[in-house]
Amino acid sequence: MEVNGKVAVVTGAASGMGFAMAETFAGAGMKIVLADIEEAALERAVEQLTGAGHDAIGVRTDVSRLSEIEALADATIKQFGGVHVLCNNAGVGVGAPVGGTSIADWKWTLDIDLWGPIYGVEIFLPLIEEQGEGHINSTASMAGLYAGASLGAYNVAKHGVVALMASLERDLRWRESKVRASVLCPGPINTNIVDSERNRDPEDAARHVASAQGQKFWEFLTRTLASGMDPSEVGPMVLDAIVEEKFWVLTHPEMGEIVTGQNRAMLDDQRLTR
């Protein structure tokens, strides 16, 4: 799809990969709606784009609330008259083993990481289809393809996002829609995700059940992401998927071996790999 002059909505756009997508799309001549729950960071992100001469607005949005996704769609149509691209990118994570994850942590993670993209697809798809062409990308993770230890709620949400987008793409093909779907499955990227709880209601955050396993994993993740890929590299990958109509966006394709290894073992001896 040709993107110049078209309208893109990016959630979680005040930081990390969401901002990188917004900046890349703006550089390709798109008009951008940046949506994020973190108001001050959102304002700064919008200023950065408008200051560089791009056409962008910010809409404070909590993606876990249907009414706020509806308001985001309304604000987009009011400002730009239509919408062609949606990136369901906002996300959070918390380290905890299954069986030691509080119900509050399950709900917080699934509400944002899975319900956010579901609301996004259901509300925006009809508006995008009205334009006759367009694209919806959602940010899952390698954790959407392989469920490792200590991250159960996140794994469940991100597997759901991969399934949501694959189902969507096949449903779109079924009815010969010109709208396409894709899924971003990043490996380690150096963003603020390890500080996800900065946007959480403190009372809800207090319901987190700390465990030695969860904490150790989070410390490992923090070190790993600190030396991860720069998020600015990811924006062009998502743009390429939109322009070239690709489904899978893998920032670290070499990590795919853990997925093929798991599939191979499933067929060979029905044992779960480590």
Could you list the active site residues? 154
Shorter beta-carbon distance to ligand NAD: residue 188 or 214: 188
Considering the rule CB under 6 A, would residue 238 count as an interface residue with ligand NAD?
A: no
Using the rule CB under 6 A, is 59 a contact of ligand NAD? Answer: no
Residue 18 touching ligand NAD (CB under 6 A): yes
Q: Considering the complex, state which of residue 26 and residue 37 has its C-beta at the smaller distance from ligand NAD.
A: 37
* Angle (nearest 5°) at CA 153 between 258 and 163: 60
Long-range contacts from 198-204, C-beta under 8 angstroms, 24+ separation: 198/38, 199/37, 199/38, 199/92, 200/92, 200/108, 204/104, 204/108
- Cβ at position 30, least distance to ligand NAD in Å: 19
Q: Which residues from 168-187 bind ligand NAD, rule CB under 6 A?
A: 186
Judge whether 61 and 69 are in contact, CB under 8 Å: yes
Applying CB under 6 A, the span of 62-70, 97-105, 124-132, 173-181 interacting with ligand NAD comes to 62-70
Shorter beta-carbon distance to ligand NAD: residue 182 or 199 = 199
In the structure encoding, which two tokens stand for residue 61, read together?
Answer: 């949005």
- 94 forms part of the interface with ligand NAD (CB under 6 A): no
Total binding residues for ligand NAD by CB under 6 A? Answer: 33
Q: Which two three-digit tokens encode residue 160?
A: 């759901």
- Under rule CB under 6 A, residue 38 binds ligand NAD: yes
Beta carbon of residue 64, minimum distance to ligand NAD (angstroms, whole number)? 5
189 makes contact with ligand NAD (CB under 6 A): yes
The minimum distance between CB 270 and ligand NAD, in angstroms, equals 28
Interaction between residue 160 and ligand NAD (CB under 6 A): no
Using CB under 6 A as the binding rule, whether residue 75 contacts ligand NAD is answered as no
Task: Please give the C-alpha separations between residue 29 and each of 5, 26, 47, 55, 135, in angstroms, as whole numbers.
Answer: 6, 5, 17, 9, 16
Q: Kindly state whether residue 95 participates in binding ligand NAD, applying the rule CB under 6 A.
A: no
The interface with ligand NAD within residues 128-147 (CB under 6 A) comprises 139, 141
- Compute the least distance from the CB of residue 196 to ligand NAD, in Å: 6
Which residues lie near ligand NAD (CB under 6 A)? 11-12, 14-18, 36-38, 41, 61-64, 89-93, 112, 139, 141, 186, 188-189, 191-193, 199, 225, 228, 231
